[in-house]
Copies of this chain bind each other. A is one copy, B any other.
Amino acid sequence: MNRNRPKFKQILDAAVVVIAEHGYHSSQVSKIAKQAGVADGTIYLYFKNKEDILISLFQEKMGQFIERIQEDIQKEETASEKLFFLIQRHITFLSEDQHLAAVTQLELRQTNRDIRNQINEVLKGYLQIIDEILESGIESGEFQEELDARLARQMIFGTIDEVVTTWVMNEYKYDITELIPKVHKLLLHGCKR
């Protein structure tokens, strides 16, 4: 089950395409295998079961995305800039891969609680970044002192998530990256003094 062998990524990429195209419930293992160019049984050399494909998919795609943000966000100075950076990266990342966006915003949610719990584990890293932005903002005086960090975090994540989901459900018919400064302004206004 080595994650570094080429077929591991090959299967995950196939899964994104198939699920985005046919929806989660019509994405049989055999369909993913065919798209990946491997035999059905080969899937099980790399993944414990079908759910594991989904979880690995999220871990792999979002995990590295989160890691890179964590590194790069250090370079931003003010909390406002950090918030802008987060929103920009998040929206830009998904705008560049509409298949992945459809999978994360719509299809991945059609799963049972177990999978969603594991997905939330991955998301924790992302939520921590938000928390760090909020802390730094409160500390520096940019944000309201009495800001409830947990609520503010839910507002930030909930808003960005809703913005992306709406874009996907509207079938990408407008340029979501144009919304980045507006979302930033809106959320910043909600946090700052």
Q: B-contacting residues of A (Cβ < 8 Å)? A: 23-25, 106, 109-113, 116-117, 120, 144, 147-148, 151-152, 154-155, 157-163, 166, 169, 179, 182-183, 186-187, 189-191
Contact = CB atoms under 8 A, between A and B. Distances in A.
A154 B148 contact: no
Nearest to A162: B158
Contact of A163 (B116, B151, B169): B151
Contacts of A23: 112-113
Interface SS majority for chain A: helix
Given A158-B161, A182-B151, A187-B190, A169 B110 contact: no
Given A155-B187, A157-B162, A186-B190, A109 B109 contact: yes
B154 A162 contact: yes
